[in-house]
Amino acid sequence: MGERYDISELHDIDRPSGPVAAAILAAGVGTFVLGLLTTLAEASTRVADALKWSDDVGPLSGKTILTVAAYVVSWVILHGIWRRENPNLRPISLAAAVLAALGIVGTFPTFFEAFAPE
């Protein structure tokens, strides 16, 4: 009928955690860049004008493109460094959480409007 397999022959495959760590930290970097660009665009009309890559969308076009670029570039670099490594995920996750929290704060109007020129 069918082949029988001996379960005792099965074993875990040990995969490196580096690619996961790279994705986690890159997400934190991307979120931070969005918050930073949002705050800078509010603080400076020069920055806002530089980020206006589409007249229909305004500065949001530059913010989102640069945010995605920051995520992808940081992910590629970190993945290249850690692809066969097993870095400690705790400090990487903590750093990503701090970066993400700072990035999210940077997108709140209460925060970035404090930097608007009077």
Banded pLDDT at 10 (limits 50, 70, 90) = low
- List pLDDT tens digits, range 25-66: 999 999 999 999 999 999 999 999 999 999 999 999 999 999
**What pLDDT is recorded for position 2?**
63
pTM: 0.84
State the pLDDT at residue 12. Answer: 67
Q: Residue 99 and residue 113: Cα distance in Å, rounded?
A: 20
Domain ranges of the chain: 17-115
pLDDT tens digits along 79-95: 999 999 999 999 999 99
Q: Which residues contact 83 (CB under 8 A, 6 or more apart)?
A: 16, 18, 19, 22
